[in-house]
Amino acid sequence: MRITVLSDNLPARGLEAEWGLSLYLEYQGHALLLDTGASDLFARNAEALGLDLGAVAFGVLSHAHWDHANGMDAFFARNPSAPFYLQASCGEVCFDHAPGLWRYEGPKRGLLDRFAPRLRYVTGAFSPLPGVHLLPHTTPGLARRGAAAGMFCLRAGQWVPDDFSHEQTLVLETPRGLVLLSSCCHAGADTIIREVQAAFPGRPIQAIVGGFHLYETPDQEVRALARRLRDTGVAQVLTGHCTGERGFALLREELGAQVAQFSTGLVVEL
């Protein structure tokens, strides 16, 4: 399989960058799209790279945040038929909380309603294609992580800590093992690996790909995560976006060549 980074925080190959993430996946003769970044930048970069968004069989929204969802209208303008898969709890519900401030973090207002005919809401694990799996979180108590990070959802008029039930992991089967794609890993990259190991017992994990949401995490916590990642037995770690430059540097110190950083335009064969 091949992964092309259409949108990330870091620019490369003469392409534009933004705070957002979008990955173009080529898997067993199919083109897939994970997320659409924060704008139409991913689509412009795809055109510059000679990648046809019109050929994408389906898209996946990793979670209900603006920096992954806000380019969806640009995708639908270029692809007349491919559906987009979301977890059933996705909606305009996500906020960050700081003293005296509630900041909306969800998709553009009205975006999900406007393109409702193209959206496929799934509950629980789902396989849209042989060898391709969408997994929700199965770890209990994730709302505690949301509260600690100041991440909340507005549901039925009530503020509740985000339990990341709107987040899903994209899992691809390959001859060398499973490839996990989780765009922000709000539940923790090691937690996600353990969830996949429980869903696919005995299957090796070739790689985890995505942002790890470490850009504001204290150094000692990043180093502890690196050690837990090593303990999972994952072979490769490919990260960027919300991991942050400092977070990546610390992971690299702990994991060495096991971890690599992605940037806009990077192409990876797994």
Instruction: Give dist(CA 168, CA 223) in Å, integer.
Output: 25
- pLDDT value at position 13? 83
pLDDT given at position 103: 96
**Model confidence band, residue 97 (pLDDT cutoffs 50, 70, 90):** very high
- DSSP 8-state assignment for residue 220: H
Specify the DSSP element, H or E, that contains 96: strand 94-98
Instruction: Give 15-51 pLDDT, tens digit per residue.
Output: 999 999 999 999 999 999 999 999 999 999 999 999 9
Domains of the chain, with CATH numbers? 2-269 (3.60.15.10)
d(CA 170, CA 183): 9
**Higher local confidence (pLDDT), 65 or 14:** 65
Rounded (to 5) percent helix, strand, coil in the chain: 30, 30, 40
Locate 130 and state its tokens: 């042989």
How does DSSP assign 69-88, residue by residue? Answer: HTTHHHHHHH-SS--EEEET
**Residue type at 115?**
F
Q: Which of 84, 31, 79 is nearest to 59 (CA)?
A: 84
Confidence of residue 157 (pLDDT cuts 50, 70, 90): very high
Tokens 């970069």, located at residue: 45
Residue 190 scores a pLDDT above 90? yes
Tell me the pLDDT band of 217, cut-offs 50, 70 and 90: very high
Q: Tokens for 31?
A: 């083109």
When pLDDT is averaged across residues 158-182 and rounded to a whole number, the result is: 97
Above pLDDT 70, what percent of the chain?
Answer: 100
Whether 4 contacts 270, CB under 8 Å: no
Bridge partner residues of 32 (DSSP) = 25, 58
Q: What is the DSSP letter of 191?
A: H
Phi-psi bin for 65: left (phi > 0), alpha (psi -120 to 50), beta?
beta
Segment 104-109 mean pLDDT: 98
The H or E element that residue 103 is part of is strand 101-104
Contact 24, 147 (CB under 8 A): no
pLDDT at 100 over 90: no
Strand partners, 210: 239
Residue 65, burial from CB neighbour count under 10 angstroms (0-12, 13-18, 19+): buried
Which residue, 163, 208, 150, is CA-closest to 183? Answer: 208
